[in-house]
Structure 1
Amino acid sequence: MSDSKLPPYGQFCWLEVPVTDIERAKDFYTSVFNWECSPQGSPSPLTGARDVIHMFTKGGLHGAFVTVAEDCMVKAYDEKSPGKAPVLPTFCVESIEETLKVVESKGGRLHVPKTDIGGGMGFFARFIDSEGNLQGIWAQN
């Protein structure tokens, strides 16, 4: 993302949706929300993912369907099953480091440290909020 196209800080910048049937999911989301889905998948580096991710967009929303095994689907984060893939909202932030400091000061916990996505696509991190929800953050630098 170029700086001129960054979403405002604190708004969604990425959404991962775990699915077991990619074609069914693409049909559902293109029908319900008119999301534009890539016809081809890309290899996934994510734990629990079977093999590919399929990107989607809708206006300023960007994300991917992540194919996972049936036993990796969960509706909410479960610390007893950390390899399972919940729906994961990811928020655009100015600084991952500073945001994680605030998360921890308010009772949250680090889940995945700052990680380079590669290809100039920025960095992400994940945390568990004060209520036990898994959330993601993203920043260009």
Structure 2
Amino acid sequence: MKLHEPVPGGPCWTELGTSDLEAAKRFYTKLFGWRPETDPRREAGGYTIARLGDAAVAALSPLYQQDQPVAWNVSFAVRDADAAVRQVTAAGGAVLQGATDVFAAGRFVVAADPTGAVFQLWQQRSFPGAGLFNAPGSLGWVELLTRDPERAADFYTTVFGWSVTASEHYPQWGIDGADFGGMVTMDDKFPHEVPAHWLPYFAVADVDTAAVDTTDGGGTVLMEPTSPPDGPRIAVLRDPQGAMFGVYRSDYER
């Protein structure tokens, strides 16, 4: 994506809710080279920051609620979480968890768009979000999969002021001309029970190697490595606990 740091309205963080935190640490450490650091405070509930070097790039956590699915979640930066809650509901979305303080790090909200896709809002205090984008092992793209793209586009452009490129096959989200994600229309090829959702894509040096490493680590390849027109090589994978994520070939240079 064309963003290189968290900006208001843009993706700033991604975190995994998993049924087996220790297994997830092992899987993603081997796949992406992450260095997991679990918050020792009891009230943090096992929340673990994944780092590349000194940069925080993602988080892994246990499931905090009985009905919480194993899944990756995407957070978008906002200046005021409470104001954002009002914007979400006014635009037809739902608030699943109201604005909540996370120690001194910031304030977050769990919400759903009108098509059912769950996402998070993050108002930074001491923690702005990911310290690295687009480099191998870090977040580099976010994708909305929905059965009602027109309604989704109306919602997100209203709440965040995003631009949407006029593409029938793959509209892209942007902020001030900087594209950071896309939208896929879920058709009959998607099982009915799969809800609308946000899918994070992580940059890798080699997509085919990442696919092999995923299966070797007990995961599954959901979409084989492919090279779409005018885009990098990509694949969609699933970890051993069932969380889906994407990878793409990065041309990142420091």
- The equivalent residue for 2:33 is 34
Superposed counterparts of 1:28-67, under 5 Å: 28-38=27-37, 42-43=41-42, 51-58=45-52, 62-67=57-62
Partners in 2 of 1:42 and 1:15 — Cα distance? 21
Task: Summarize deviations over 1:44-103 as a string: whole Å, max 9, x none.
Answer: 55xxxxx5222213486543211249x95xxxxxxxx4x445422111111212322221
Partners in 2 of 1:42 and 1:85 — Cα distance? 23
C-alpha distance 68-115 of structure 1, shift in aligned 2 (>3 A): closer
Q: Any stretches of 5+ residues in structure 2 without a counterpart?
A: 126-254
Runs of 4+ in 1 over 4 A off after TM superposition: 39-42, 58-61
Q: Could you tell me the TM-score, scaled by structure 1's length?
A: 0.66
1:104 to 77, 83, 89: 89
Q: Could you tell me the TM-score, scaled by structure 2's length?
A: 0.40
Work out whether residues 14 and 74 of structure 2, in 8 Å CA contact, stay in contact via their aligned partners in 1: yes
One-letter amino acid of the structure 2 residue matched with residue 14 of structure 1 = W
- Aligned to 2:114, the other structure's residue is in SS state coil
C-alpha distance 134-32 of structure 1, shift in aligned 2 (>3 A): same
CA RMSD of aligned residues (A): 2.9
One-letter amino acid of the structure 2 residue matched with residue 136 of structure 1 = Q
Partners in 1 of 2:38 and 2:112 — Cα distance? 33
C-alpha distance 98-68 of structure 1, shift in aligned 2 (>3 A): closer
- Aligned to 2:84, the other structure's residue is in SS state helix
Partners in 1 of 2:93 and 2:38 — Cα distance? 37
- The equivalent residue for 1:76 is none
Report percent identity of matched pairs.
Answer: 24
One-letter amino acid of the structure 2 residue matched with residue 123 of structure 1 = R
Residue 9 of structure 1: how far off its partner (Å): 1.6
Partners in 1 of 2:123 and 2:82 — Cα distance? 10
1:139 to 119, 123, 141: 123
Superposed counterparts of 1:1-141, under 5 Å: 7-38=6-37, 42-43=41-42, 51-58=45-52, 62-68=57-63, 72=66, 81=67, 83-84=68-69, 86-118=71-103, 120-140=104-124
Partners in 2 of 1:97 and 1:37 — Cα distance? 31
One-letter amino acid of the structure 1 residue matched with residue 91 of structure 2 = K
One-letter amino acid of the structure 2 residue matched with residue 26 of structure 1 = K
C-alpha distance 26-111 of structure 1, shift in aligned 2 (>3 A): same
Structure number with the bigger relative contact order (C-alpha 8 A, sep ≥ 6) is 1
Structure ID, larger Rg: 2
